[in-house]
Structure formats: C-alpha cells, structure tokens
Amino acid sequence: MSPPERPLKLGDLLAETIRIYGERLRAAIGLGLVYAAVLLGAAIVHVALYYVVTALMFTMASGVAVRLVAGDTFREAWAQVLVRFPVVLLLAAVVGLPFALAGYLSVLFILIAFWLGLTAFAVPAAMVEQARGSAGTFQTAAYALERTIVLARLAYLHATGVVAALLIVNFVFGILLAQLLVGFADNGQIVALAIVQVVLAPFFFLGLAVLYFEQRSRAAVSSGREPA
C-alpha cells in the first residue's frame, strides 16, 4: 500500500479512502476504538472536558491516520504521534478546537469545512515532513501551519469540497446508525454515537490523510518535481 501520488477527483479520493480502510481494517477500527472511547469517557466526566479532549483527539487521530496511510503499523503510528505530542498539542488549539466547537455550535458546523480545507494539512505535515532549520516544537508547529496554507492554496475549493463530503458522510450516517442503535439495542444516545464513531471516525481521518497526500502531489506537479 502506498499513498496517492497524483491529483484525484472527489469520487476517486473517496474510493481510495475506502480501499485503504479495507486494507488497514484492523488498524482503522483500532483507531476508531481509541477515539470513541476517549471521547465517551470525557463526555461522561464533564461537557467542558469533552470539547477539550475532542480538540486534542482530532489532532492525534489525524496524525495516526496519516502515518497509517504512509505505511506504519498501528503501534508505530501512535508512537510517532506521542514523540511529536508537544507539536500536536499546539496544533490542537488551531485545528482541533474549531472542529470540536463545531459540534456544539451547529451554525459553525457548515463553516468547519472551509476551516479544515485550510488547516487540515498542518498535522500531516508535522507528522511526515521535516521542518526547515531547527526541529524544535514551535519551529515545527510554525512550519506545519505555513505548509498547510501552501498546500491549501493549490486547490482550496477542492480541499474544502472533500472535507465537506467527509463531514456529511460522518454526520448523516452517524445520525442514522445512532438512531438505529438507540431504537433496537436499548443504548443511550451518547453511547450509540460513540459506537458509531468506532466505524465512521477512521474513514473521516483516513480521508483527510489521503487528501493531504493528494494535495502534496499537486504541489509536486505544479513545481515540476516528484512527490517527496
């Protein structure tokens, strides 16, 4: 398995995400289990903690997903995220917090696609690219934020459209499946939503990872170079 090395249309990108999901099924479900379990625990403790944890888990799951797409094992992917945890923590405030708040402020939910179309490449860049000069925490985070803007500008509407499609898949199917679980399995709504995210969250994060590599290939094509 290798990440995409050419620009993809929306349908091709979703198909590529499905292919990778199937090939890395155990790792994908493992990611979903960790993501859903942590968020469920935070929601049970306190609603404020839930949004803080969601912001952090968004960036951590994004980092794990991009390492899985790059070929790492499940353990290796998490190890790489933990090694870069200070950078991931900084990026959580910029990238993850708006995502977390979008789930609470429904008006912002639509706008989050535009935000992630601009910022979603920061975590992948921090995970797989080497920052210029010093590799300190702040330098790496600054490089990642600069890099996401460069990649987003190549095809911003395309990136936003892909993010929107991934959000819609997660949102629509999440509601439908959660309602089925609540109605037929006597689960609480929060528990049902957590169970659904075990399956849907990995697809969302793997899709963002595929989009990152696809945007990176666009950068290589526009500069006449091979993808790094």
Q: For 139-190, what is each residue's pLDDT tens digit?
A: 999 999 999 999 999 999 999 999 999 998 888 787 777 677 666 655 567 7
Give the residue, 203 or 109, on which the prediction is more confident.
203
**Nearest alpha-carbon partner for 206 in 20, 56, 45:** 20
Give the residue, 106 or 85, on which the prediction is more confident.
85
Length of the chain: 228
Mean pLDDT of 94-108: 76
Residue whose token pair is 């912002």: 108
- Cα 117 vs. chain centroid, distance in angstroms? 11
Cα distances (angstroms) measured from residue 98 to each of 25, 32, 109, 131: 29, 21, 9, 25
pTM of the model: 0.90
The pLDDT-based confidence of 93 (bands split at 50, 70, 90) is very high
Percentage of the chain lying above the pLDDT 90 cut: 59
Percentage of the chain lying above the pLDDT 70 cut: 85
What rounded mean pLDDT belongs to the chain?
87
Q: For residue 119, how many other CB atoms are within 10 A of its CB?
A: 20
Q: Which helix (H) or strand (E) holds 58?
A: helix 47-70
Q: For residues 78 and 120, is the Cβ–Cβ distance under 8 A?
A: no
- 13 pLDDT more than 90: yes
The conformation of residue 93, written as its DSSP 8-state character, comes to: I
**From CA 154, how far away is CA 222, in angstroms rounded?**
9
Mean pLDDT of 7-21: 92
The pLDDT-based confidence of 105 (bands split at 50, 70, 90) is low
Q: How many CA atoms lie within 13 A of 191 on its CB side?
A: 7
Token reading at 131: 């920052």
**From CA 158, how far away is CA 152, in angstroms rounded?**
9
Rg (Cα) of the chain, in Å, rounded? 17
pLDDT of residue 145: 95
Token reading at 155: 């095809």
pLDDT of residue 127: 95
